[in-house]
């Protein structure tokens, strides 16, 4: 007997306005990530009397990775910006909450996709309005169920 994973039937209304809401969510999340990065940078500078500034790696990508991974894999399945825009991220195949590794990978792929802006065109032709980074991470972003 062969096991076949049951793919949930995603209702079309869950994707209504999702692309626009995702852009607005990003406009909320980026300043929050920048603020967190600045606070961590300042805290490290004070705690180490400025020595950490010589050796510290760029904090923004690191904070963004954990910000997305921890918030999306959490109970609310969304970053603060996504919650404000009534969005959530789930696994595409099962509809379950995305684990940390998928949520963080989606963020990593997203930030890397800024180097190749044409990959955002994928969301214009995908029925579920998924971007290439969503497809690679195996997730789907919908309006809150």
How far apart CA 122 and CA 21 sit, in angstroms, is: 17
Would residue 11 count as lying in a domain? no
Would residue 7 count as lying in a domain? no
Please measure the distance between the N-terminal and C-terminal CA atoms of the chain and give it in whole angstroms.
33
How far apart CA 113 and CA 110 sit, in angstroms, is: 5
Average pLDDT, the chain: 87
Would residue 103 count as lying in a domain? yes
- Per-residue pLDDT of 134-144, as tens digits, reads 999 999 998 88
The pLDDT of residue 93: 84
Would residue 98 count as lying in a domain? yes
3-state secondary structure of 97: strand
Q: How many domains does the chain have?
A: 1
Would residue 107 count as lying in a domain? yes
Would residue 6 count as lying in a domain? no
Q: How many residues does the chain have?
A: 145
Give the DSSP per-residue string, 101-139.
Answer: HHHHHHHHHHHHHTTSGGGGGHHHH-TT---HHHHHHTE
How far apart CA 98 and CA 110 sit, in angstroms, is: 16
How far apart CA 76 and CA 67 sit, in angstroms, is: 13
Domain that holds residue 37: 16-143
CB of 90 closer than 8 Å to CB of 138: no
Would residue 2 count as lying in a domain? no
Would residue 10 count as lying in a domain? no
- Per-residue pLDDT of 58-67, as tens digits, reads 888 899 999 9
- Per-residue pLDDT of 34-46, as tens digits, reads 999 999 999 988 9
């Amino acid at each position: 007997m062969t096991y076949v994973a049951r793919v949930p039937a995603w209702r079309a209304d869950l994707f209504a306005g999702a692309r626009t809401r995702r852009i607005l969510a990003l406009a909320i999340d980026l300043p929050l990530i920048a603020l967190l990065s600045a606070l961590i940078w300042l805290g490290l500078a004070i705690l180490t009397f400025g020595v950490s500034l010589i050796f510290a790696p760029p904090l923004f990508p690191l904070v963004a990775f954990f910000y997305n991974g921890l918030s999306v894999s959490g109970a609310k399945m969304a970053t603060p910006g996504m919650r404000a825009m009534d969005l959530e991220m789930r696994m595409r195949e099962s509809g379950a909450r995305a684990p940390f590794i998928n949520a963080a990978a989606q963020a990593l792929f997203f930030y890397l996709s800024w180097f190749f802006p044409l990959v955002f065109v994928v969301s214009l032709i995908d029925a579920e309005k998924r971007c290439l980074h969503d497809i690679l991470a195996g997730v789907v972003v919908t309006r809150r169920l």
